[in-house]
Amino acid sequence: MKYLLYCITTEGLPWAVGPELLGVDERPVFFIIENGLKAAVSEINHQTSALKHPALMDGMEKNLAPNILQFSAYEKVVNVMHQHHGVIPLRYGSLFENEAFVIQHLSENHEQYKELLSILVDCVEMGLRILPQQAIACPSNTQASSPLSSGYSYLESRRKHYAPDMLPIKELKELFQQYCCLFEGLFVKCKMETPLDQIITGAYHIPLPSFYFLVPKRLVQAFCETLRNNAPSSEKAVKLLLNGPWPPYNFCTTTT
């Protein structure tokens, strides 16, 4: 058995996880404590898991293939922890050989984690996703292609299909600045994600830019009301999808 790390919080907080909180593969979640930090972990059978060892400060692992049940269980643990404490939620895939490796990781990174927790405490993530100008729908007709190229060709055709309908990077940056001004005083940090990476939407991948805001929990209602009453606009009619509040996954590096 190896150890799967869900999130990190501060030692000394009153709430204990206990065996009633089950994680991936219905394994009990428990704490490992080191140098003023608590790591929520559970054991996992690495022979059947798609996880790899280990995620570092950026929480990013590549080539993971969790099934829906595993991912949902992981997300549930992070959400429950986030409801009770300020946490650093790690991306799915932080796997360690044993308890000693978790302790070593906490010890080596305790200053960065404590600094990050001081920023994330009592905050949630709110996101604005910028949608294409035309409705997103799976095409009814697709041309046949060779087995080797069909998947790539399909995704590439979708990218080209929607690319002209997305805002140019310059306009996105300007729109992002407008929203930062609109929400002034209602967030701690913010960041923009451009369509350089493909995001799963519906049944296939299309690039969708997103704006993320780290918002104090007490200001979430004001944040939503401000958006509803005063949303700025660009030269094109912009369609927005508001999501959150979530654990602050996009603010879990000291460089964000």
Name residue, tokens 């930090």: 37
With bands split at pLDDT 50, 70 and 90, how would you rate the model's confidence at 86? confident
pLDDT tens, 30-72? 999 998 999 999 998 765 444 443 444 333 333 345 678 888 9
User: How far apart, in whole angstroms, are the C-alpha atoms of residue 119 and residue 6?
Assistant: 19
Q: pLDDT at position 71, please?
A: 86
pLDDT tens, 103-149? 999 999 999 999 999 999 999 999 999 886 654 444 444 444 444 44
Q: pLDDT at position 128, please?
A: 94
CB 16 within 8 A of CB 98: no
Tell me if the domain spanning 123-251 has CATH number 2.70.98. Answer: no
User: How far apart, in whole angstroms, are the C-alpha atoms of residue 69 and residue 53?
Assistant: 20
With bands split at pLDDT 50, 70 and 90, how would you rate the model's confidence at 18? low
In what order do the strands lie in the sheet containing 239-246?
189-193, 210-216, 123-131, 239-246
Higher pLDDT: 199 or 9? It is 9
Q: pLDDT at position 59, please?
A: 36
Sketch the domain layout of the chain as residue ranges. Answer: 2-120, 123-251
Residue type, 35: N
CA 20 to chain centroid:
25
Q: pLDDT at position 75, please?
A: 92
Alpha carbons within 13 angstroms on the beta-carbon side of residue 250 total 20
Which has the minimum average pLDDT: 43-57, 70-84, 213-227? 43-57
With bands split at pLDDT 50, 70 and 90, how would you rate the model's confidence at 209? confident
Nearest 5°: the CA angle 131, 137, 140 is 155
Helix-helix angle 220-230:169-182, to 10 degrees:
120
DSSP string of the chain?
-EEEEEEEEETT-S----TTSB-GGGPBPEEEEETTEEEEEEEE-TTT----S---TT---SS----HHHHHHHHHHHHHHHHHS--EEPPTT-EESSHHHHHHHHHHTHHHHHHHHHHHTTEEEEEEEEE-SSPP---S------TTTHHHHHHHHHHHHHGGGSPPHHHHHHHHHHHHHHTTTS-SEEEEE-TTS-EEETTEEE---EEEEEEEGGGHHHHHHHHHHH----SSPPEEEEEEEE--GGG-STT-
Q: pLDDT at position 68, please?
A: 84
